[in-house]
Chain A
Amino acid sequence: MRIEALHIRNMRQMKDLSLRFSEGESDNDLHIILAENGVGKTNIVNAITWCLYNKEMHLRDEETALPLLNNQIIEDLRKSGGGNAEVMAELTISTDKSNGRITFKRVGIFNVTSEACILLSDKLSISKMGTGGFRLIEDEEETAQIIHKYLPEEINNYIFFDGEQLEHFFSQNQLENVRSGINELTQASYLKKSYEFLDLYIRNVLNPKIANLGSKEIAEQQKKVDGLADQIELAKNTISELDAQIKTCDDEISRLTITIRGCENLREKTEELERVEKDLEDLRSKEIVKTQELIKFTREYYSYLGLYPSMKAYRDFIKEKDENGSLPPRIDKEILSKILSSRHCSICDSENLNDHSLQYVKELEKTLAVASATSAELNRSLGSLNSLVTIIQGYKSKKEKLVGELFEIRNDIKNKDERYQQLQKYLRSVPNNEEITNALNQKDQFNSEKVRLIGKKAVENNNKANLERSHQEENKKLQTLISKQKELEEIERQKEFCEECSKIMKSCKEEILDECRNKIQDRTFEIFDRLIWKKEAFSKVEILDNYTFKLLDAYGTQALGSCSAAETALLALSFTLALQEVSKHDSLLFIDTPIGRIGVENRTNFMETLLEISKNKQVILTFTPTEYDSNVQRILSKNYNSFHSLTMNNNITNVKQ
């Protein structure tokens, strides 16, 4: 399928714009629209989606967007007191090579007053030209069916892109694209709708019939079975809610992983910085305390050492006197007097000393006549001086110990400070480091939440399995009861048929999805691998059961998050092409500003890829003149079939002739 022509009238800046996208001489079904920003490139896509689905799907902000009706017409009508005007978008597509053509035409009638511009009505009509001739279809149901057949709204995201959409195709909540794409394009969603309808029919029509027509016992058993079925349904819903929550966690974890890529150690580094800061603070306090200790030591020992020469001279003098016997023995004269008067020796504790002994004491007293207060003073000092000299001799070792401890602290400070500077340098080099720290914390929270949800899901699965067992048993009992009542046979047969149909459809849906998912994943990689300019960098694409999309590098590691914008866009394109191919829904590709977000170095590669795609599929691209630079021109010129350069005169978009 391809777009042949587009005609837009009175819509925004396009008063009367016609674009034809015919197949021409070039092998590439490539069409280019060139326009400055604001001239209307995106509004061309909006005109197509409005024509088909009555929605502008590429508006940046619906609330603040201009009215659909051209502003000049609104003003003219207001000047003439108001009136009606129509907006028209007409899209012609060809459906196959046998020139089957369909034209979709939507006309909206607007009423313009001095205060408002209100849509009165809009109508879609379809003209179908085929082998059977021309046919105009206006019936709402039939037009909806035709649109659904050729350009279903559900898959418009896989036909009409903008550059930004491609870049973010696999990020954040966009994994939903993969899930809905596979479900819609494989038409598995129809099977789902069908079996859900059958299940509803059994529950709301057949089961009540059985209960009403059967015996009281059957009614009660049916109630029991229905009750269990309700509980199973509830458990299924809970499980599916849990799945959704787990998926949200996965999406968030993927998003946060992209944010923190390369900065995984940021939090550890931030925590280390805090620790180092605290250590430095402690060490600096220790340094102050140790310095004070050393100052006190200095003051104390300086006092000792300052006096040391005097003390040494004094001590030497006393020692010399002592050695020469110039100092009396250390016996107090008063003690000797006491011994003589009491005849009791207080030194050896002998009583009644004889005269001989007393005579000896008297002689001793005479010898000590020279003993004086001076000798006592000198004797007393010697002991203290000796003790102090011992203390002074300890100066060297004590000082070395204190200085060593202080140096050790200073060395620790130096090392910690170096580490602190390194960490500071690293953290300053990380842009938005607060954002990344938050992302790391959030990622932890989502990981724990995911673990909690998985646990809860396991419990719920177990509960569901028990309920299903009970349901099966109770259902068997019900069947036995029903089989005894002949009038219920027909209803029971209908029920069995419906149940069987539902079961087959469910398993078909699963099979289709599995098969398509596998085909799409393989085909996506084949296309991607063929188109990618970095050969052998990637090894496989995987789409998991929960639609998680993986692009594995040469070593089998998920590499999606580290792809460049161009690679991500190419992967999204490859997925879209695979999806269209596997689902046999052969659509065109309309990409609005495909290289707007792609780095200059990859633009050439990406353009060559799109050129390659256009050999088998219609590709319509829009560019700004800046994007359509000499490199892009070199690749695309002579390879397109139509080139529309749009300009703007008096706020009206025209095709440059």
Chain B
Amino acid sequence: MKATVNVTKEHIEGIIKDLDNSKYFLLDNSNTSRADLFNFALALGLKDGHPTPLSTSVSFIRTSYIENILYQYKSVFFDKDLSERPSDIDEITDTDKALYLVEQYANTGFYILKKYKEELEDETHLMTKLLNEMDRDYQEFFDNNIG
């Protein structure tokens, strides 16, 4: 298994550093763990629906720190890849493949985050936007009894 989860150098030096300095949306490293920031970016990327391959990879989180949530990444791997080819289900044990995939979605997510930070300067606006989005999703997932 890979030793680390990676992000692009561009994000490390760009939006991630910027978040640490500005504490935008409390996403700096004192308010949000790196794993949680990665997951947030992953969620944004998944919402967008397009993975973005990493240009220059840089270590971001040790995989030993995220062992308890690897199943979440594997569910992404299943949903976005294996579900199309169920006969290859044994690949679900290949954690690295799952990690490579989520890195790409998170990569997209970091770009979205950068855009939000530029466009929604008041972080409460981002909060409202995301809450509205979640309300719609929640209704779709649960209130329509598809959960």
Contact = CB atoms under 8 A, between A and B. Distances in A.
Contact of A295 (B36, B93, B123): B123
The 5 A-B residue pairs with the shortest CB-CB distance, nearest first, are A306-B43, A310-B79, A314-B75, A381-B71, A303-B39
A469 interface: no
11 contacts: A295-B123, A299-B36, A303-B42, A307-B46, A311-B75, A313-B78, A314-B75, A314-B79, A373-B93, A378-B92, A396-B142
A129 interface: no
A407 B20 CA distance: 29
B131 A307 contact: no
Contact of B138 (A298, A305, A381, A388): A305
B60 interface: no
B80 A377 contact: no
A253 to B, nearest CB: 54
Contacts of A312: 141, 147
B79 to A, nearest CB: 4
Given A298-B130, A374-B93, A389-B147, A306 B44 contact: yes
Q: Which applies to chain B's interface (DSSP): helix, strand, loop or mixed?
A: helix
A305 B142 CA distance: 11
B12 to A, nearest CB: 20
A325 interface: no
A393 B137 CA distance: 11
Q: How large is the interface on B (under 10, 10 to 19, 20 to 34, 35 or more residues)?
A: 35 or more
A309 interface: yes
Contacts of A295: 25-26, 123-124, 127
A378 B78 CA distance: 11
A80 interface: no
Contact of A307 (B31, B76, B92, B133): B76
Interface residues of A, number: 41
Contact of A305 (B68, B75, B86, B137): B137
Contacts of B46: 306-307, 309-310
A393 B142 contact: yes
B99 interface: no
Interface in B107-135: 123-124, 127, 130-131, 133-135
A380 interface: yes
Contacts of B71: 380-381, 384-385
A307 B72 contact: yes
A514 B133 CA distance: 90
Contacts of B80: 310
A212 interface: no
A308 interface: yes
A377 B74 contact: yes
Contact of B78 (A300, A301, A317): A317
B64 interface: no
B90 A298 contact: no
Contact of B92 (A300, A374, A399): A374
Contacts of B124: 291, 295
Contacts of B83: 313, 317
Interface string B58-100: 0000000000100110111011100100100110110000000
A310 B147 CA distance: 12
A527 to B, nearest CB: 74
A310 B78 contact: yes
Interface of A: 291-292, 294-296, 298-315, 317, 372-374, 377-378, 380-381, 384-385, 388-389, 392-393, 395-396, 399, 403
Contacts of A399: 131, 134-135
Q: Which applies to chain A's interface (DSSP): helix, strand, loop or mixed?
A: helix
Given A301-B134, A306-B46, A395-B134, 9 more contacts: A298-B130, A298-B131, A304-B43, A305-B43, A311-B72, A373-B90, A378-B89, A381-B71, A396-B138
Contacts of B26: 292, 295-296, 299
A288 to B, nearest CB: 11
B47 interface: yes
A388 to B, nearest CB: 7
Interface of B: 25-27, 31-32, 36, 39-40, 42-44, 46-47, 68, 71-72, 74-76, 78-80, 83, 86, 89-90, 92-93, 123-124, 127, 130-131, 133-135, 137-138, 141-142, 147
A296 B78 contact: no
A309 B79 contact: yes
A396 B147 CA distance: 14
B7 to A, nearest CB: 16
Contact of B134 (A305, A309, A380): A305
A403 B131 CA distance: 10
Contacts of A317: 78, 83, 86
A405 to B, nearest CB: 14
Contacts of A384: 68, 71
B85 to A, nearest CB: 12
Contacts of A309: 46, 79, 141
A306 B123 CA distance: 19
Contacts of A389: 147
A387 B41 CA distance: 22
Contacts of B142: 393, 396
Contacts of B93: 373-374, 377
B76 to A, nearest CB: 5
B13 to A, nearest CB: 22
Q: Which of A294, A307, A312, A385 has the most CB of B within 10 A?
A: A307
A398 to B, nearest CB: 11
A306 B47 contact: yes
A315 B76 CA distance: 11
A395 B124 CA distance: 19
A396 B137 CA distance: 11
A298 B131 CA distance: 7
Contact of A310 (B36, B68, B75): B75
A384 to B, nearest CB: 5
A307 B123 contact: no
Nearest to A381: B71
A317 B74 CA distance: 13
Nearest to A380: B71
B147 A300 contact: no
A310 B76 contact: yes
A559 to B, nearest CB: 58
A313 to B, nearest CB: 4
